[in-house]
């Protein structure tokens, strides 16, 4: 009864404030602009009353006669206060111009809360990658650009935030990919197509570290990556680039298969943005050709994207748009090496079409994203977004597929009070898969979510809830509820502490349930009965703003824990549907997605992000170190019980047993360092990455799986060289890239980019050696 009474009193106070405002006799209205463009969503506050500007930057408030101080604020701009006097029945018009301020110190983010706010106000760990660092070493796909983010690594194109994911052969992602706030995972494998993201049109990338399923649903179990593309401004602009590069010889000459003809790559990009009346236009194109350092691997791709947004003057507050992106790929995919020496860059099975593990094919991808946004002063904001995402794969291994996903979302934002914001919404999707690899399947998803954010002076608190249901064919999951809570408190003007807890879950993809394929000795079996995985993450952190002269930075320290239940992994085993006692049919040895049990990951992370001027040098910096302790709790329980009854084991055996509790495919320590320096027309970019030794992989790859030993009587490697490579490279990997640039004119620059400067030999995942040193020339222009 006490809680119900409190809620009734709270609602009554809101209604009383609203009725008092409605009875006021004066009218305050106007527009808020910056650099000639309307500022959308600027907060206009008078005491406890407030509103936000609409799509044209307009606002209005009804006020009782009197003298007021009106406060105008928006993330990325200096707060402005104006004194205003309003008489009875008077209408006051204001024309307010905000000035950019502190944008480099406190980036504007959307992802964690689904509306724009300052990074310092978030309750979760986030990183923001801005254009200066995003394009520092000319990445050809988004995953290459994100390698520099602390705590984020990629194991064979699969994103892994703070150890939350391993390697699952390209099926399923625990990190959700968003492009302009809309999910973009394929309908069949539920994976991220990194080369499809339009890098040429990207404004910034935001990364949430930790479970985010309340706002974004399944696949946000380990975090979210949100790509925000650029908008047109009042000044037209064009960005263009062209590059050509060579892969140089590796450190060991016996790895060379190309003779005296160096493998090469080249490409170009173009982006143009302009405003035509009430319509914004952003278009981009990208062409890339790669003759790889791996034999049989190559890639030819072209991409075109167009973004249109219209804000009709006849319907103030309405914004309508459509974003499209289309890409065609043709290439060969390298999966497994022959061995770790002379065959490290050659495919298992050679190049003979009858035996090779190279897969050649063509892929077409298309996304069409229409949307409507309605935002008026003193009224709720409504957003309706859709995405139609189509992928079509054709290859020479009879593993083609066509997949469609149709996604729709409605979001409602309403400031119930000057200090209380409600965000709620509905989302749904339908997917259709027609495939030789997975057969034919249909899926659907329905969800509802809500979040309240309350702020009082220096304290912000947030709480949210989501309900979701998922179906594949005739199998329907139960309704799944998840929640999140968090707080952020500004201890001092430049010091912010935060704490958060969030639940997450992930439904198995069609690929994980129904894939049935083989690549030479690797067989993968379907498992229609695999169950959803779930988990939660919690963290406590502190963010400190720093300033040295005109250089501003944030230092961030976070302690975190992640817990997973019914974790899905592809596990090696014997999967004969009709086993015969005492008999082994080798055709049923392989991998299957199974729920392997429970896991816990604890760790700490320190990062430093800064931008600004150090004397005459303009410096951008992003660096950090992440330490994790990823434990398979079921294996830990087994090892603890074994050691409890085996006092006679040697220290070496005991240490080896304890190492088996570490989750597969995890780096316990990673260090990232990225810097971009500009001085009098010269530029220097550096990107350094350190990965500790990956302690555990699936024992199948090293031939030490107990099942293999049982069958063959001794350790047996099906893929040569993995064990010996890991024995030689057991101290981790250090990789450095560099860019040296010169401004040829105000609009044109020329750069030399060298990747893997020290020509390190390293592998992120088993049987796939990474690139040797490469060098390229890059010509860029901004007009």
Q: Mean pLDDT in the chain? A: 88
Distance CA 198, CA 208 (A): 20
Distance CA 739, CA 267 (A): 17
Nearest to 553 by CA among 247, 105, 235: 105
More confident residue, 567 or 297: 297
pLDDT at 112: 55
Q: Does 557 score more than 60 pLDDT?
A: yes
Q: What is the CA radius of gyration of the chain?
A: 28
Distance CA 360, CA 332 (A): 4
Q: Does 423 score more than 90 pLDDT?
A: yes
pLDDT at 462: 93
Q: Which residues of 213-251 are buried (b: 16+ CB within 10 A; e: fewer)?
A: bbbbbbbbbbbbbbbbbbbbeeeeeebbbebebbbbebe
pLDDT at 22: 43
Average pLDDT over residues 658-672: 94
CB 509 within 8 Å of CB 175 = no
Residues 6+ apart with CB under 8 A from 520: 336, 348, 349, 355, 357
Distance CA 676, CA 751 (A): 13
Give me the half-sphere count of Cα atoms (radius 13 Å) on the Cβ side of residue 528: 9
pLDDT at 24: 47
pLDDT at 376: 82
Torsions phi, psi for 764 (to 5 deg) = -85, -40
Q: Does 170 score more than 70 pLDDT?
A: no
**Residue 111 to residues 301, 367, 593, Cα–Cα distance (Å):** 30, 21, 30
| Structure confidence by residue, pLDDT tens digits, 74-127 | 756 777 888 898 888 888 989 899 877 544 445 655 555 555 667 777 888 888
Instruction: Supply 672's token pair.
Output: 């990232």
Average pLDDT over residues 542-560: 92
Average pLDDT over residues 392-404: 88
Q: H or E stretch including 710?
A: helix 706-712
Q: Can you give the pTM of this predicted structure?
A: 0.86
Q: Does 5 score more than 80 pLDDT?
A: no
Place of tokens 């690139």: 771
Distance CA 338, CA 720 (A): 7
pLDDT at 419: 84
CB 747 within 8 Å of CB 783 = yes
- CA dihedral 134→139→143→146, nearest 10 degrees, is -30
By mean pLDDT, which of 93-102, 545-554, 593-602 is the weakest? 93-102
**Residue 336 to residues 257, 631, 740, Cα–Cα distance (Å):** 16, 28, 34
Q: Does 714 score more than 70 pLDDT?
A: yes
CB 621 within 8 Å of CB 157 = no
Q: Does 15 score more than 50 pLDDT?
A: no
Chain-centroid distance of CA 762 in Å reads: 24
Nearest to 399 by CA among 366, 445, 438: 438
Instruction: Supply 457's token pair.
Output: 């002076």
Chain-centroid distance of CA 554 in Å reads: 21
pLDDT band of residue 12 (cuts 50, 70, 90) is very low
- CA dihedral 759→764→768→770, nearest 10 degrees, is -20
| Beta pairing, strands 550-574 & 401-417 | unpaired
Binning the chain into helix, strand and coil, the percentages to the nearest 5 are 10, 55, 35
By mean pLDDT, which of 105-119, 208-222, 471-485 is the weakest? 105-119
CB atoms within 10 A of CB 253: 8
Average pLDDT over residues 619-625: 95
Q: H or E stretch including 702?
A: helix 699-702
| Structure confidence by residue, pLDDT tens digits, 270-282 | 999 999 999 999 9
Residues 6+ apart with CB under 8 A from 1: none
Instruction: Supply 120's token pair.
Output: 């310092």
| Structure confidence by residue, pLDDT tens digits, 351-382 | 998 899 999 999 999 999 999 999 887 789 99
State what percent of residues in the chain have pLDDT above 70.
Answer: 94
Instruction: Supply 276's token pair.
Output: 């035509």
pLDDT at 14: 40
Q: Does 47 score more than 80 pLDDT?
A: no
């Amino acid at each position: 009864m006490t809680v119900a009474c409190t809620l009734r009193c709270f609602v009554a106070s809101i209604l009383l404030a609203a009725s008092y405002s409605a009875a006021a006799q004066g009218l305050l209205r106007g527009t808020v602009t910056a650099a000639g463009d309307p500022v959308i969503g600027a907060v206009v506050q008078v005491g406890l009353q407030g509103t936000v500007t609409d799509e044209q930057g307009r606002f209005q408030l009804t006020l009782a006669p009197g003298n007021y101080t009106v406060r105008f604020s928006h993330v990325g701009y200096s707060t402005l206060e104006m004194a205003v006097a309003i008489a009875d029945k008077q209408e006051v018009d204001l024309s307010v111009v905000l000035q950019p301020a502190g944008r480099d110190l406190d980036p504007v983010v959307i992802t964690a809360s689904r509306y724009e706010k300052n990074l310092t106000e978030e309750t979760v760990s986030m990183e923001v990658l801005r254009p200066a660092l995003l394009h520092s070493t000319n990445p050809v796909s988004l995953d290459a650009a994100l390698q520099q983010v602390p705590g984020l690594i990629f194991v064979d194109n699969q994103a892994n935030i703070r150890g939350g994911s391993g390697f699952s052969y390209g099926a399923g992602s625990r990190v959700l990919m968003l492009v302009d706030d809309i999910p973009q995972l394929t309908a069949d494998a539920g994976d991220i197509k990194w080369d499809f993201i339009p890098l040429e049109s990207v404004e910034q990338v935001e990364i949430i570290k930790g479970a985010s399923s309340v706002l974004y649903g399944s696949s946000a179990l380990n975090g979210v990556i949100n790509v925000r593309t650029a908008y047109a401004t009042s000044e037209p602009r064009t960005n263009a680039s062209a590059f050509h590069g060579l892969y140089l010889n590796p450190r060991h000459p016996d790895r060379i298969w190309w003779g005296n003809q160096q493998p090469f790559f080249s490409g170009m990009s173009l982006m143009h943005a302009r405003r035509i009346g009430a319509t914004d236009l952003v278009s981009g194109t990208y062409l890339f050709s790669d003759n790889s350092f791996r034999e049989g691997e190559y890639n030819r791709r072209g991409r075109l994207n167009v973004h249109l947004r219209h804000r009709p003057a006849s319907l103030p507050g309405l914004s309508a748009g459509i974003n499209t992106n289309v890409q065609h790929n043709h290439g060969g995919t390298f999966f497994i090496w022959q061995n770790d020496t002379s065959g490290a860059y050659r495919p298992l099975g050679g190049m003979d079409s009858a035996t090779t593990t190279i897969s050649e094919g063509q892929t077409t991808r298309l996304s069409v994203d229409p949307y409507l946004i309605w935002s008026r002063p003193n009224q709720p904001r409504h957003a309706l977004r859709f995405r139609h995402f189509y992928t079509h794969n054709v290859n020479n291994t009879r593993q083609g597929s066509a997949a469609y996903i149709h996604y729709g979302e409605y979001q409602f934002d309403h400031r119930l009070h000057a200090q209380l914001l409600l965000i709620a919404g509905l989302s749904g999707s339908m997917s259709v898969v027609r495939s030789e690899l997975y057969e034919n399947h249909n899926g659907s998803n329905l969800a509802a979510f809500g979040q309240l954010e309350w702020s009082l002076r220096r304290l912000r608190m947030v709480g949210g809830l989501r309900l979701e249901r998922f179906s594949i064919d005739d199998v329907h999951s139960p309704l799944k509820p998840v929640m999140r809570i968090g707080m952020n408190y500004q201890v001092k003007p430049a010091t912010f502490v935060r704490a958060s807890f969030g639940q997450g879950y992930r439904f198995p993809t069609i690929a994980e349930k129904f894939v049935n394929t083989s690549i030479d000795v690797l067989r993968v079996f379907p498992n229609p009965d695999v169950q959803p995985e779930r988990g939660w993450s919690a963290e406590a952190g502190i963010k400190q703003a720093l300033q040295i002269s005109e250089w501003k930075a944030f230092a961030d320290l976070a302690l975190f824990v992640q817990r997973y239940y019914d974790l899905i992994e592809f596990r090696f085993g014997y999967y004969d549907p009709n086993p015969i006692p005492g008999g082994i049919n080798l055709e049923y040895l392989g991998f299957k997605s199974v729920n392997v049990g429970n896991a816990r990951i604890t760790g700490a992370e320190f990062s430093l992000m800064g931008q600004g001027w150090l004397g005459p040098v303009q410096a951008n910096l992003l660096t950090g170190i992440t330490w994790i302790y990823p434990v398979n709790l079921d294996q830990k329980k087994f090892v603890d019980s074994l050691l409890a009854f085996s006092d006679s084991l040697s220290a070496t055996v005991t240490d080896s047993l304890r190492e088996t509790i570490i989750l597969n495919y995890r780096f316990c320590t990673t260090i990232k360092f990225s810097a971009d320096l500009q001085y009098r027309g010269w530029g220097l970019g550096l990107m350094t990455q350190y990965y500790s030794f990956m302690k555990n992989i699936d024992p199948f790859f090293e031939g030490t799986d107990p099942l293999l030993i049982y069958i063959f009587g001794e350790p047996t490697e099906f893929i040569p060289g993995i064990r010996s490579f890991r024995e030689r490279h057991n101290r981790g990997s250090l990789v450095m890239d560099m860019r040296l640039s010169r401004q040829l004119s105000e609009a044109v620059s020329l750069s030399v980019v060298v990747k893997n400067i020290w020509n390190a030999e390293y592998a992120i995942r088993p049987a796939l050696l990474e690139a040797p040193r490469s060098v390229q020339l890059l010509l860029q222009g901004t007009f």
